[in-house]
Amino acid sequence: MERFERFIENMSKTLEWVGLVAFLLMVLVNILDVVGSKFFKWPFPGAVEIISFAMIIAIALTIPIGLFLGFHLSIDFIIDKFPKTLKYVLTILVSVLCLVFFILVFCQTLEYGYSLQVSGEIGSVSKIPFFPFAYAICLGILPVILFYIVKTVKSIKER
């Protein structure tokens, strides 16, 4: 189980680096657009689309590492006041609900990405296809699903 956790964490760290590159791309395109339009009267064509696409990548691929680092929302201070048995049941219930939620999000996003791929949707100015970004969201959700599987199993074994 520990090796599997390390694998998920390493996968999350790798995705974090890709998300960081996407964030830097957002900054670079924004700078080029502002400098180009203000000083050279030539804005960067498709800058808004590229920044939007990069934002999808940056957000979707950095969510898993946030789970490992504990940056997600939590109400532990309330749960800590509950009796041990209730705490145990709530921890398992929350883990299972999060797991089911992210599995549903993964399936729906995969279906949406496929529909974008079949329809051939592209950006109006940049001509970049939309479907890879839906699949990137799926890629970012995959370690989240694995994280909640591990968390659920560990919660059950705690007893």
> pLDDT value at position 140?
94
d(CA 97, CA 74): 14
d(CA 79, CA 82): 5
* Cβ pair 128, 49 in contact under 8 A: yes
Kindly give the parts of the chain with pLDDT less than 50.
none
Q: How many CB atoms lie under 10 A from the CB of residue 10?
A: 11
> pLDDT value at position 147?
93
* Cβ pair 18, 153 in contact under 8 A: no
Domains of the chain, residue spans: 2-158
The residues that bridge with 122 in the sheet, in sequence order, are 129
d(CA 135, CA 58): 13
Q: Report which of 45, 18, 13 is spatially closest to residue 132, judged by C-alpha positions.
A: 18
DSSP 66-78: HHHHT-S---HHH
d(CA 64, CA 146): 10
Number of Cα atoms under 13 Å in the Cβ half of residue 142: 15
List the end-to-end C-alpha distance of the chain, in Å, as a whole number.
17
78-112 tens-digit pLDDT: 777 888 888 888 888 989 999 999 999 999 999 99
The token duo for 24 is 């830097």
The token duo for 33 is 């657009």
Provide the 8-state DSSP code for 123. Answer: -
> pLDDT value at position 79?
76
